[in-house]
Chain A
Amino acid sequence: MLLKDIIKITSLKKKSHFILFPILLILSACGGGGGGGGGGGSSARSVAACTDTGTAFQTDEYHALGNTVVGRGLSKICASNAYARGYTGSGIKVGIVDTGITIAAHQEFDGSGKRNYDAGSDLVTPDSIPEDGHGHGTHVAGIIGADKDNTGMHGVAYDASLYHYRVFNNGGITTTERLVNGIQKAIDNGGLSIINHSWGTSGSCTSQSSCETGVGSSVYAKIVAAAQANIIQVFAAGNDGTSSPSYEANSVAYDSRLQGVTLAVAAVGTDGVIASYSNKCGTAASYCLAAPGSFIYSAYISGTTSYELLSGTSMAAPLVSGSLAILKQQFSSLTNTQLVTRLLESATNTGIYSDTSIYGYGLLNLGQATTPMGVLQTFSGSDNLDSGSASYIDLSSTSFISSASFSNALKKSLNGKKFEVYDSFDQANFKVELSDLIGSKSNVSEFNATSHFNRLKPKDKSEIYLSPFGQTEATYVNGQLESNLFTSYNNFLAIGYNQDTNSFLKNEKTNLLANDKIFSKNYFNNPYFYDEGGSNLFMSINNNQSGLDTFMNANSNDLGFAMKFNSGEKSNEDGLTSNLEFSFGVAAENKKFLNSSNSGAFATEDFSNTNFLGLKYNKTVKDLNFVSSMYLGQTFINEKENSYLSSSKPIYTSSLTAGVIKDNFYDPSQKIGFVISQPQKVEKGEINLKVPTSSNRDRNVTFVTHNVDLKPDARQVNLDLIFEKNITEMENLKLGLTHVQNADHSTESKNQNFISVYWQKYF
């Protein structure tokens, strides 16, 4: 096969050589394309029971609310998962229309924001201090937001702010007037997000009018007014054991003015099954869910350290109210209606909870509600989440694997910086560390023990295609083609496949350094022709003092070409030869730059170009051969629309190599070489990362631009020493020593040292 191809290429006429480069260009242009956004979730909702994973928060105090039984109370709804993500209801105001709050210095309410009273908030004995003479209101308040203080128990949203409205007297009963005024007080507060109603009026209704009659028109009007004020209202379903909630909780089923921001809550017992006393979701199933309600341990009014076990849908409702406070804190991008929908849609609805007539949407699952329900997506193209021009890309498709030439600087610059991504389910905002999406390529990944050892092996000379046109330098060595390509003088045409592109150091003396692909690639090849992996194609057309190299990386469709001008090899009678090559060209990288891999929200457009200059010098003085190579590049990022990544200035890079090889080291059978080099590094340059960092309930998104200086804080220097001794014609010994300082241009990298010995004997 190989021979056939060689013959084929050999038969090309001279003028045919100039056709090859356009062909390569066309081939590369055929690649690319791509893309497509993701999104969409499954239509059938199936949410399994949560696993309580926030172990650091699963304290005795945490389990106390469930009567110290693990698996009840807060652990049943996986509240610790939310705490582990940093959400505790902080900053959210919850109103409690109930029997008031204990005025004793109860240890569960001595934290800030737990005793907020509006003027006139005691509607029973009219004043501004809603002292609880029953205990119910205190208990409910504890379930919502009792302090987390390593004593007693704590509420589900233990950092929420609580506002108390005493509407029910010490017997747990109220009047229409008190209810009307109490709810109005809560509305007038102006800052409440949620009102908890652990009360109700027994009886069932089957229409808006019958519900309104059951509730009483004046109270009903206030409930509607609160909904119209965009306050989420959570109602206990009632304890009559009926098939549908009591009047107030059931009203949402028939009144569109309540729908979206009103919930009914049924109670499950300690066994997780609907409690015998609890009204079922029934006709309000579309606005109803269940929560633990039996034997709930919470603060009481008998003293500063008093607690009580109470049961009822009164206890289930505040678990939902507190959970909503957590969601409201976590998801600034969601409206109250969306928060309610999220809470419902995240409820566990498998097993017994699939019976909507009993459990409505299922069992409260705070663990699920606080995690992505669809797929997380990046957002760009607009400043509003609901805009038609908004562009969403799955986060899993977004990454930025940076080149080692600037990865250190990029990582450091973005360390600790977060940005927002959005749940495809409802665009709920989640925070993600920018650095989590940033990966790094490495200059030293090839410096492991195996690869260092392999550097001393003879190079692989397979898959070489050569057209011996003119005076080619290509020769057969041991029956194989020598893989010297891109030689910048003498007439020849060469085509290489997956092959080392360096042949500047082609003479015998420098073979010591150039005889393995890894070594020469790192130090003497064109550093802007990123030929890592895949099917790389090379072509070089040369005459005596100039030439053209072309390169195509078939994997990523990179293209490159370089014009070369060579002084020609000069030599004199003293054995002094010298060779100077100057090159310039351009490398076009498809959807990446400087060998970084950008995708999704960090994508770049086709062909970011790097203009480069190269200079190589080789001088031989008797047994000594001096070699050097230097490349400078100027990279322009081709920005992609809606990408987070942009750049207004070019990025300047450099790479340097210098070395000396001595033949006849002690005796003619020995050679030694020393090389110092610096891999490609950004000398100057910056990129801008414009990422969304916050969003509000109007669904507007704020972007922040991070200006990232790409210059690393150190310069990687490699020191290589290679020794070779031909013991006999059939026996060869090689020694390699490498010292790497500031690997990947980072001051934080440890110095690395390698030593390899290679002994080869032919039989």
Chain B
Amino acid sequence: MFSKYYFFSIVFFLYSCAPQSNEAIKVVNIFCKTSGQNIIENNKNFINKSDDNFFKSYEKINDKKFSNANFIVQSDEKRRGGYSLNLNKIVGSKIYFFETTPPERTATIAVMNYPYCEIELNIIPKNLEVIIEKK
């Protein structure tokens, strides 16, 4: 019995001292734009600071708006202007973006581009998911 008591105590102690994995993800800074270059390679749509290639991607952003970005999200290649990527909502470890598509028969600039968001998050959970919804 004693051992059971101690076991649960130790578990409770350890749990209480562990990082708060269920802490809400908050966006500290965000700036969304389009890039002329493919910022994130290998067909991924996001990259965070824990990734070895993060800074390589970050350096491709020409128009950096803040210095503490730790998270980048990017849409796939667009063949004309009028597309944009915007943060929609955060649900648990899932971050939802919506991609705006230009209306049919609208004049747009004729440049290849990649909508992206440069983001500073308060935390970067390991099980982070990015969902880009098209509007």
Contacts and interface: CB of A to CB of B under 8 A. Distances in A.
Nearest to B109: A172
B102 interface: yes
Interface string A120-150: 0000000000000011100100000000000
Give the interface centre of B82, B108, B110, B113 by most chain A CB atoms within 10 Å.
B110
Interface string B95-128: 0000010100111111111000000000000000
Contacts of B110: 198-200, 236-239, 246, 312-314, 317
Given A135-B62, A302-B62, A312 B111 contact: yes
A306 B102 CA distance: 28
Given A172-B82, A202-B80, A134 B109 contact: yes
A314 B113 CA distance: 11
B106 A172 contact: no
B109 A216 contact: no
A200 B80 CA distance: 9
B62 to A, nearest CB: 5
Contacts of B112: 239, 277, 310-312
Contact of A201 (B63, B83, B106): B106
A300 B62 contact: yes
A308 B82 CA distance: 19
Interface in A168-226: 168, 171-174, 179, 198-203, 214-216, 219
B94 interface: no
A308 B108 contact: no
Interface string B26-37: 000000001011
Among A179, A200, A310, chain B packs the most CB atoms within 10 A around the CB of A310
Contacts of B56: none
B36 A311 contact: yes
Contact of A136 (B64, B106, B107, B111): B111
Contacts of A624: none
Interface residues of A, number: 45
Contacts of B36: 135, 139, 308-311
Contacts of A246: 110
B75 interface: no
Nearest to B84: A171
Interface residues of B, number: 23
B44 interface: no
B74 to A, nearest CB: 16
Contacts of A310: 36, 111-113
B107 A198 contact: no
Contacts of B109: 98-99, 134, 136, 168, 172-173, 198-199, 314
A302 B80 contact: no
Contact of A214 (B62, B80, B105): B105
A123 to B, nearest CB: 12
B79 interface: yes
Interface in A524-538: none
A294 to B, nearest CB: 8
Contacts of B105: 201-203, 214, 216, 247
A701 interface: no
A236 B105 CA distance: 16
Interface in B33-73: 34, 36-37, 62-64
Contact of B80 (A99, A216, A219, A239): A239
A571 B108 CA distance: 108
A717 interface: no
Interface in B1-47: 34, 36-37
Nearest to B115: A171
B79 A219 contact: no
B108 A173 contact: yes
A173 B81 contact: yes
A157 interface: no
A568 to B, nearest CB: 98
A309 B111 contact: no
B66 to A, nearest CB: 13
B62 A171 contact: no
B107 A174 contact: yes
A246 B84 CA distance: 22
A214 B106 CA distance: 9
B111 A239 contact: yes
Interface string A313-326: 11101000000000
Interface of A: 98-99, 134-136, 139, 168, 171-174, 179, 198-203, 214-216, 219, 236-241, 246-248, 277, 300-302, 306, 308-315, 317
Which 3 residue pairs across A and B have the least CB separation, nearest first? A172-B81, A173-B82, A239-B79
18 contacts: A134-B109, A171-B83, A171-B100, A173-B81, A198-B111, A199-B108, A200-B107, A202-B80, A215-B107, A216-B105, A219-B107, A239-B79, A240-B80, A310-B113, A312-B110, A312-B111, A314-B110, A317-B110
Interface of B: 34, 36-37, 62-64, 79-84, 100, 102, 105-113
